[in-house]
Homo-oligomer: A and B are copies of this chain.
Amino acid sequence: MVKVGVVGVGAVGAATVLSLIERGGMCREIVLVDLDSRRAAGVAADMRYATPLAPTVEVRAGGYDDLAGAAVVIITAGLNEKSGGATDRSDPEGRRRLIGANAEIYAGIVPRVVAAAPEAVLMVVTDPPDPLAVLTRRLAGHDRVFSTGTLIDSLRFRVHLADRLKVRPRDVQAMVVGEHGTSEVLLWSSASAGGTPVLDLLARCGEPVDLIRREIEDDIRFANITIIEGTGASQYGIGVVSALLVEAVLRDERAVLPVAAYYPPYETTLSLVSVLGAGGVQQMFEPAMSEDERAGLERSVVALREAAERALAVLPDGA
């Protein structure tokens, strides 16, 4: 039976599990592991009562050993932006302020996950996901590691573009690449709907396109602040995203999505166009980019490399 593990059953972990249950799909068994084992047990017991209403899935709390045989392990453990004091959105460091604390936590978790589930694909959700994925890859000693990267940012970009275009977000194609964080790059040049660049579609609205661009970038930023002020941290959107990514791996969908994996040409883990399926990210490529976008990506790579170094610093002699 196809098993999925969740390490860290806070708000994001729980939303992911609820979404996995509701969506049915390939997942048949879910094991919840949390430092606070009472929390894991409580969430498992609560979720179980939803299962008669959805395709059969078993949910239970467990220890690391219970991850044995898991096809995917989702790691959401760690401090979030609020508990880690990273809510000053004008701070260029942003989520990177969480690196030290969460890298320590990962250094404790990942070896135990890998010992129990050596074949599992590891999906990093904790902030900042990209440097933590670098650390996870090093700790795991294999390449079946990816992070949720900029997929949630890309969905935000699509939702706000769709608002302006007055169409269904599903039909707007737009990506954010680079860091899931302050250096991320919105790919305006390739964003499209109905086979037509969104910049052309927006231009037809009558307002100056540069103004609309800035407004949409503000919409995204404003929505993020609204979430953080309202509930402390993004959890429902990222939970659904995480469930969907797990399904893409389990089903070997070869989905084309902006999630982050180690990309040898840049010697770090970042979101580009990734093909996600069995084993994790099977292929990556750089999308078409304008010169500005490429320059932005390069800046993001620099920031990510530096952040990765800081994450790796928790290893004994930078191993």
Contacts and interface: CB of A to CB of B under 8 A. Distances in A.
Nearest to A256: B171
Interface string A40-70: 1111011111111111100000000000000
Contacts of A42: 226-231
Contact of A24 (B24, B28, B45, B224): B24
A251 B39 contact: no
A152 B52 CA distance: 11
A65 B48 CA distance: 36
B46 A235 contact: yes
B253 A168 contact: yes
A115 to B, nearest CB: 26
Given A237-B46, A288-B196, A24 B25 contact: yes
A14 B48 CA distance: 18
Interface in A175-232: 175, 187, 190-197, 200-201, 223-224, 226-231
Interface residues of A, number: 91
A257 B24 CA distance: 20
A45 B240 CA distance: 14
B18 A254 contact: no
A275 interface: yes
Given A229-B38, A241-B53, A288-B196, A43 B236 contact: yes
A61 B234 CA distance: 16
Interface centre among A24, A47, A55, A172 (most CB of B within 10 A): A55
Contacts of A147: none
A171 B254 CA distance: 9
Contact of A158 (B15, B52, B174, B253): B52
Contacts of A224: 45
B255 A171 contact: yes
B56 A251 contact: yes
Interface of A: 1-2, 14-15, 17-19, 21-26, 28, 36, 38-43, 45-56, 152, 155-156, 158-159, 162, 166-175, 187, 190-197, 200-201, 223-224, 226-231, 234-237, 239-241, 244, 247, 251-258, 273, 275, 278, 285, 287-288
Q: What 10 A-B pairs are tightest by C-beta distance, nearest first?
A: A42-B230, A49-B237, A194-B273, A195-B287, A190-B195, A171-B256, A50-B240, A52-B169, A22-B22, A42-B231
6 contacts: A1-B252, A2-B26, A49-B237, A49-B241, A166-B254, A173-B173
